[in-house]
Structure 1
């Protein structure tokens, strides 16, 4: 088991591929863990060094008492890159992971080669809604949240055709540390990058799910309008688009990251 002691906590991570290849670090959504990226490994591992980790409060990473901030979660990413002696990496994050990616691109662009942010926004939800969810989870645990997760994460069609994939995610969610989850809700409640993302100058691909009720295509289009030179792609999925539309997602990120490597080699 790979554990990095970073910023006073133990962070679980896994690596795949050749460490001499360009690195991609993947950042999970709220209520999931590193395993949500399993479907991206095969198509990328030959050409890239892949790093998956569990965000603070999730999976096998430590869940200290919160609240957390997005800056804190992003600094865990920087700490993991330092631990692995990686000066600069490509970044791929979804939902909360996408917000972490936006923070890094604004505040630590020298560490990020290029950015993929999926099913996200510079301000996700409302402060009140996140605070209410955090209070509910601290009081009652995660079962209620897990019961409603499929309708937020996937279309009914995908859940009906792929119940095993959905249920594995729900089991992970139910087994999460409630304090870790609630503390990440606190981070989402307080973070608002709407006034900052126009500063992002690194290559950026924005992926939106055309059936996402949480972070909509309007959110993706807002990001694209703010980040000069960014590219937007809509794929047929709800909120966890890398799982629901795995083929389309994989084709998009492989083309984006590969093209960035090619451009760097030509300059």
Structure 2
């Protein structure tokens, strides 16, 4: 059984919000949300397997494997029903959980997609991680995470997140690349019946607003919020706008 590293804020008598981050990230991706959401909720941020403080599980993974890790970790904490927010890879896991687990009551999908390009690209990135290391990919990744203006105005913050990426375990990163290579939920969005918020960065080159609008249109009860300026990680670049949208959605 894989129990994921996690951090928790807020008291146990409040509803639980689970936060799932991008590939190459750890719970620091959610620091502004941990502060803001914990006044109204018990907030738990988790590291995917092979990321942050979570154990490395050798070999390829699937999105269903990552979702199972989340549920087993919540079981270990005695948590039944929960609200979930996921960004990028975490958004894929959140989509799967919202469609397949009756324990999910609300969902938020940030800068994510029901399919991230073609599998070959992810297999190539997995191979690069296993051979040259994640650090070799870090500059390109952080350039997609944040808008040019943010990178210029916030060099220390940008460097912190670059180091987060570079410090990710090579096999842990590659395993999650394998999961994204096999991810295609385009025909299953209609299975998601809980209330859904999608959030897009106006300047996101990886998952532009029209992708998130497609998710909102594909689920039973979805709506889109676009933050600007903002690229692939608006939780850091536009925390006030993201926090406001999440708090409003999770209060429904």
Which range is displaced more, 39-48 or 204-213? 39-48
Among 69, 72, 79, the residue aligned to 1:76 = 69
Q: Using the alignment, how far apart are the partners of 1:65 and 1:209 within structure 2?
A: 33
Number of the residue aligned with 2:35: 42
**In the alignment, does 2:88 pair up with 1:95?**
yes
**In the alignment, does 2:200 pair up with 1:208?**
yes
TM-score (norm: length of structure 2): 0.97
TM-score (norm: length of structure 1): 0.92
What does residue range 79-158 of structure 1 map to in structure 2 within 5 Å? Answer: 79-108=72-101, 110-158=102-150
Tell me the SS of whatever aligns to 1:64.
Answer: coil
Q: Using the alignment, how far apart are the partners of 1:43 and 1:151 within structure 2?
A: 26
Structure 1 unaligned residues grouped into runs of 5+: 1-6, 261-267
Among 213, 216, 226, the residue aligned to 1:221 = 213
Aligned residues: 251
Indicate if the aligned counterparts of 2:142 and 2:161 stay in contact, CA closer than 8 A: no
Structure 2 unaligned residues grouped into runs of 5+: none
1:125, CA displacement in angstroms? 2.2
1:104, CA displacement in angstroms? 0.6
Number of the residue aligned with 1:12: 5
What does residue range 149-228 of structure 1 map to in structure 2 within 5 Å? Answer: 149-228=141-220
* 4+ aligned runs moved over 6 Å, structure 1: none
Q: CA RMSD in A?
A: 1.0
Q: Using the alignment, how far apart are the partners of 1:252 and 1:226 within structure 2?
A: 20
Tell me the SS of whatever aligns to 2:93.
Answer: helix
1:10, CA displacement in angstroms? 4.2
Number of the residue aligned with 1:55: 48
1:231, CA displacement in angstroms? 1.0
